Each structure stands twice: as structure tokens, then as C-alpha cells.
Chain A
Amino acid sequence: MEVIPIKEESDIVRARVAAKDMAQKMGFGLVDQTRISTAVSELARNVFVYAREGQVHLEVLNNPHNGIRITFIDQGPGIPDIDLAMKDGWSSSGSMGKGLPGAKRLMNRLEVKSEAGKGTTVIIEKWLS
């Protein structure tokens, strides 16, 4: 497992490049590599913008699917209403509200766990088979 700390803007780039490299090595095609790196960029930015700092974990999945799993962990303010946060166009920061719903469309799985005041964990997966 590879861990990338998110503390500053350039870490968002580091996370998306690392995810793309790993996806490429695992045999994902170019379009899937790009989907993965784009989703990682969106979710790593959410960590940076809303929680100031956190971590990105990259790991290989074997069972029941072969693929990549990326987990974003922060101890920020949390998301009070996850269903609302998943809505296309909804944003608490006056942004476009595309990150979470967009990342969900780009991946095979996206799960958000969050507790107000404690932090947020977002898990995404892309499957090879």
C-alpha cells in the first residue's frame, strides 16, 4: 500500500500522478487511467479544501474484483448530509459540486463515511474484472 499525505496544493498533483502510475502498471487502459487520476484529483482536493489535510491510500484489490482501491482519509469537519453532498451541483463552498458525483461516475464504486466533527473517509474502486 502506498500512502500520500495531503498538506498542500502540489500533493493533489502527487496523488493523481501516483494513482495513474499504479493503474498503468496494473494494466488499466489509458481512458481508465485518466478516469482514476481525475477522480483522485477531485477527492484529494476535497481533503485539502475542506479538511486542510489528510491522507490518500492506494492499494491493489484482488477479491472479488481485481482492481485498484483508493481511500481518502481526513479528520476535518465531516459531511453532515452525505446524500446532499452527492447531488450534482451542490456545494457548500460556492464551487461546482462536481467532485463527489463526478468521481462516482468515473469509478465502479464510491462510498462516503463521515461523522460531523470527526472527519470523512471516501473509498473509490476501479475494477479490471
Chain B
Amino acid sequence: MLQSSAIPILKIGDFLLVSIQYDIHDKIAELLQQDILKRISETQAKGVLVDISALETVDSFIARSLADTAAMASILDAELIIVGMSPTVATTLTELGLTMAGVRAAVNLDEGYDLLKASLGQRVVDRRNR
């Protein structure tokens, strides 16, 4: 039994960075979900960037796994952003019938990082005004 996805999860300040560099199978996708959630609770990270720009095929399993991970991350008070989904993959997912509604996306890491910083800033402001 594999215990971990073996995909590196890097920490930068309040955020985690995960870059999926190769085509992963279903078991690895499940382990990665587990690894990300574990790292969020260990590090109290406030945001996660998941770079999928190297994925040539994203099918319903990976799409659902990413969406589920995002939903569970938000329960742990961390925002997950999908980075670098290619237009081709996005088109194909739509035709497959998946919307990925509720999952935030960014074109590249810079944009994803800015989105996370902006929403973290917004959350601090919200908390102060409570």
C-alpha cells in the first residue's frame, strides 16, 4: 500500500504549492488529496496553489478529485486555486459535462499567488470589521 502520493508540497509563507508534473492515476490522485489536506492542517496554510499545467488529460476523476480537495480545504479555512489548466483541457471538460463550478482558477502561478494574497488580505479585513 502506498502511503503518500510522493508529489512534493512546498510551503511559501502562508501558502502551499503543489505542481503535478506527470499524468497521475486515480490512486495517486486520492493520495494527493489526502497529502494536501494533511499539510494544510499541519502548517495552518491559508492557501494552496495546484499547478496542473503539465496535465494533458484531465478526466472526470481528476476533475472531481480537485474539486473535492478544494471544498475540503475551504473547511480547513484554506483557499485552493487551480493553476494553468490549458484551454484545450477546459474545453474538453465542458464537453464531458463538468463545470468545475466553485473552484477558483488562475492562468499562471503569479496570478494564482496574487489571487491568494488578495483574498487573504480581504479575510483579514473582514475579520477586523466583524
A residues contacting B by CB (< 8 A) are 9-10, 12-13, 16-17, 20, 30-31, 34-35, 37-38, 41-42, 45, 88, 96, 98-99, 101-103, 105-106
Contacts and interface: CB of A to CB of B under 8 A. Distances in A.
Given A34-B92, A106-B96, 13 more contacts: A9-B25, A9-B26, A31-B92, A34-B88, A38-B59, A88-B97, A96-B60, A96-B98, A98-B98, A102-B60, A102-B95, A102-B96, A106-B92
Contacts, number: 66
B123 interface: no
Nearest to B57: A37
A3 B107 CA distance: 37
Nearest to A35: B92
Contacts of A41: 57, 59, 61
B71 interface: no
21 contacts: A9-B27, A13-B23, A13-B24, A17-B23, A20-B57, A30-B88, A34-B57, A34-B89, A34-B91, A37-B57, A38-B57, A38-B92, A41-B59, A42-B59, A96-B64, A98-B97, A102-B60, A102-B95, A103-B96, A105-B96, A105-B97
Contacts of A35: 92, 95
A41 B93 CA distance: 12
A10 B96 contact: no
A98 B56 contact: no
B28 to A, nearest CB: 8
A92 B85 CA distance: 30
A28 to B, nearest CB: 12
Q: Lowest 5 CB-CB distances: which A-B pairs, in order?
A: A102-B96, A41-B59, A9-B25, A37-B57, A13-B25
Contacts of B24: 13
Given A9-B25, A34-B88, A16 B57 contact: yes
B58 interface: yes
A42 B95 CA distance: 13
Nearest to A89: B97
B88 A31 contact: yes
A91 to B, nearest CB: 11
Contact of A101 (B56, B59, B93, B97): B97
Nearest to B89: A34
A38 B25 contact: no
Max chain A Cβ within 10 angstroms of own Cβ: one of B23, B88, B92: B92
